[in-house]
Amino acid sequence: MANADFGWEQVVGNGDGSGNGFDDANNSYAYSMTIFSRYLYVGTGNSNGCEVWRSSHCTTWNQVIGGETGGVNGFRDSTNIRAYSMSVFGR
């Protein structure tokens, strides 16, 4: 769904195959974003521990922190419920 006034387009949920909240209803916010090595990274707020997702073209997303990666949400601590900020280290 594009917003003609601002040029924004929804790239997660409702038609892209991932569902709202990256298919996790507990992902309530996209708190942070950064670009690193051709990927857009998104950090979520999640009541079961934050998640981090990435995409190189915003049509396919891969979870890099959280349950689908074989780990635990929240950087292995489920009480870390928000990824408030991101920064590329050493640049």
Q: Give 72-89 pLDDT, tens digit per residue.
A: 788 888 899 999 999 888
Q: Give 19-36 pLDDT, tens digit per residue.
A: 678 888 888 889 999 999
- Alpha carbons 59 and 14: distance in angstroms, whole number: 12
pLDDT of residue 14: 60
Q: Give 50-69 pLDDT, tens digit per residue.
A: 999 999 988 788 888 877 66
- Alpha carbons 88 and 1: distance in angstroms, whole number: 30
- Within the chain, strands assigned E span 2-3, 8-9, 27-36, 39-46, 52-55, 62-65
pLDDT of residue 1: 47
Q: How many CA atoms lie within 13 A of 64 on its CB side?
A: 12
